[in-house]
Chains A and B, each alone.
Chain A
Amino acid sequence: TFRVTVRDALNQAMDEELERDERVFLLGEEVAQYDGAYKVSRGLWKKYGDKRIIDTPITEMGFAGIAVGAAMAGLRPICEFMTFNFSMQAIDQVINSAAKTYYMSAGQQSVPIVFRGPNGASAGVAAQHSQCFAAWYGHCPGLKVVSPWSAEDAKGLLKSAIRDDNPVVFLENELMYGVPFEMSEESQSKDFTIPIGKAKVERQGNHITLVTHSRYVSHCLDAAAVLAKEGIECEVINLRTIRPLDVESIETSVMKTNHLVTVEGGWPQYGVGAEICARIMEGPAFNYLDAPVTRVTGVDIPMPYAKILEDNSVPQIKDVIFSVKKTLNV
């Protein structure tokens, strides 16, 4: 096996896809000569040059629109937002120009574009730089929304996103960039991809289902390890994709465990967990629930700065453990 950080896995994915298809190119702020604000695109400009790796001015609405136009005219752009907070400046281009066009044109005009960048909370960056956009983008038809956790997720899903002929919002996480993971033999193949729209069971268990995405998969696995010592076996599902949501995997698990806890970094109202609750209620798994679904979410406030406040604004492992026990009534 290979020990690779999420950052390097993303880099590998882009490198391989740039090499494979000359229509693929990367644009965004600092992606070229700076090697990427978070070094995710390190070495790519040196290897591929100005034509394929493009530094843009600080004009999100403009360069996101340019990226969408380039996709319409036959290229396959990767448009990086330094963080997804800045995507709000360009959100009209993502939704109205990219997501809706295939439908409005009745299938004449496709938009094969990837919007990627770090999403959600970081460390000490405060309110304007910490929002999670999974629910906002996950709301919109015409988009695929992906949220990787591990290095293998990152590589396989980014390669799939780049090869997908549709607009994909690819939500990374800054705190995960430096985390190393074991990667399988097959993940080293240049044709290794992970299908978009399929969740993964990271840990099997019989007592309760934990559904989560991105960084909180780690939290759930850590919580599961602690709970296992007390005889509670958690099944941890890594969503991998926010839209389309793999409800079936969740239902299959809930029909086995009869209990469900969702864990996310975003705010509770109208969030990913809220959607999962609604979908479970509408499907066959509802009759298997022995307790209402519990949502573990970020606190419903703008992100504060002071460390003690910030730490208490997002789910911690103890919150997951507490919620599991409450749901199981133990």
Chain B
Amino acid sequence: MKLSIIMSGVFLINPCLCVFGHQGARVVVSRSFADFTPQASFDIKKCDVHRLEEGPPLKAELTREQGLQYYRIMQTVRRMELKADQLYKQKIIRGFCHLYDGQEACAAGIEAAINPSDHLITAYRAHGYTYTRGVSVKEILAELTGRKGGVAKGKGGSMHMYAPRFYGGNGIVGAQVPLGAGIALACQYQGNDQVCVTLYGDGAANQGQLFESFNMAALWKLPCIFICENNQYGMGTSMERASASTDYYKRGDFVPGIRVDGMDVLCVREATKFAADHCRSGKGPIIMELQTYRYHGHSMSDPGVSYRTREEIQEVRSKSDPISMLKERMLSNNMASIEEFKEIDVAIRKEVEDAAQFATSDPEPPLEELCNHIFHNNPPLEVRGTNPWVTLKSVS
């Protein structure tokens, strides 16, 4: 991999390193900032384009700070999902649990390219986005375990987590796509220069309501970035068995599209920036297909090996893991040290452990809350219970 090192005049603060002296005494040594490359330029894979004169750039700039941040985000999502796997097997999480490990570069790359004031909506494989859109690991895990400290107070569960500018978490395949186009319509209507990132999977890509959304988004030039996270399988059905055309970036027909390496956080970031610029300049919607992979099965009830081989999964893990790829890039360009990454890993492990601890010890929501949140800004109302003698109270 070719690269060019850029020495900028900006100096960054480095963490301290512990060095053990030969008598076992601990000596703290400060690595000087001149030791690390502050910024580097990386080649990224060229994106196939549909109905576009040009695509995203072929090089991505990465600062040391950004690199460590993306690493931190992806590693946190990875560890959080693995913790959820563990808790599910212990039956502390129940129902649906669709894990995101393997796809971290998508969520991290997209968030790096948009503003916090932009909007995002996705389907049910949503824990990664819930995190990147600002919800803590603690509140996510506690929602999965159905406790009152969960982001939706335990009332939503895995597929129904929300945050400002993050519209879930949606359980019905494809339904989130018209919603996303509607959010984009609101952005256009309010003239606020914001965009809506609307995600769906290769399985949902065949839903009729998507094409209805593409049509209206194109007609009205809505600032909507439609993103197909193609992880190659819709539950147990491979894309070849479900789609007459697997060129998901072309499926919008009259909507321009780009096909992106979804395992490379820099590629995702550059493509999303390109897409956001396209939308913000009033050109209308655009489709991005992120080619990615999920290590887990469709959900926790799917071992994930009846429709694909263990070899295939292992191959992706060893050759294309998004976190390893970023780490190796930074290490081989002297942008960070192995110890730094270890420290980050340790800190994340602790964060996830603490979150899991909270998620398993926080109490379940009180029964008094059962009927609340039916209506907004409404006087309290009575809700029928399971039998005529039970009337429950509901407040907004």
Residue positions of A touching B, CB distance < 8 A: 25, 51, 54, 56-57, 59, 61-75, 92-93, 96-97, 101-110, 112, 141-142, 144, 165-166, 244, 282
Contact = CB atoms under 8 A, between A and B. Distances in A.
Given A65-B179, A92-B172, A106 B156 contact: yes
18 contacts: A57-B219, A59-B215, A62-B216, A65-B175, A66-B178, A69-B178, A73-B182, A97-B172, A97-B179, A102-B373, A105-B155, A105-B156, A106-B372, A107-B372, A109-B162, A165-B378, A166-B375, A244-B381
A62 B375 contact: no
A165 B377 contact: yes
Contacts of B396: 107
Interface of B: 119, 121, 152-156, 160, 162-163, 167-168, 170-172, 175, 177-187, 189-190, 196, 208-209, 212-213, 215-216, 219-220, 372-378, 381, 383, 388, 396
A188 to B, nearest CB: 27
A74 B153 CA distance: 23
A104 B375 contact: no
Given A64-B178, A70-B183, A244-B381, A108 B152 contact: yes
B193 to A, nearest CB: 14
A28 to B, nearest CB: 12
Contacts, number: 148
Nearest to A73: B186
Given A103-B374, A282-B388, A62 B175 contact: no
A96 B178 CA distance: 13
Contact of A106 (B152, B171, B212): B152
A104 B215 contact: no
Nearest to B369: A106
A97 B216 CA distance: 19
Contact of A66 (B170, B181, B388): B181
Contacts of A59: 212, 215-216
Contact of A105 (B162, B177, B216, B383): B162
A112 B377 CA distance: 11
Top 9 A-B pairs, shortest CB-CB distance? A69-B182, A65-B178, A62-B212, A73-B186, A69-B179, A66-B182, A59-B212, A106-B153, A110-B376
A56 B185 contact: no
B213 A65 contact: yes
A74 B186 CA distance: 7
Q: Which among A62, A66, A93 has the greatest number of chain B C-beta atoms within 10 A? A: A66
B177 to A, nearest CB: 7
Contacts of B378: 165-166
A72 B179 contact: yes
Nearest to B153: A106
B363 to A, nearest CB: 15
Contacts of B186: 69-70, 72-75
A62 B152 contact: no
A279 to B, nearest CB: 9
A222 B177 CA distance: 49
Nearest to B217: A66
Given A62-B212, A106-B156, A166-B378, A93 B175 contact: yes
Given A65-B177, A105-B373, 17 more contacts: A57-B212, A62-B181, A63-B178, A63-B216, A69-B178, A69-B179, A72-B179, A73-B186, A97-B170, A97-B175, A102-B373, A102-B375, A104-B168, A106-B153, A109-B167, A141-B374, A144-B375
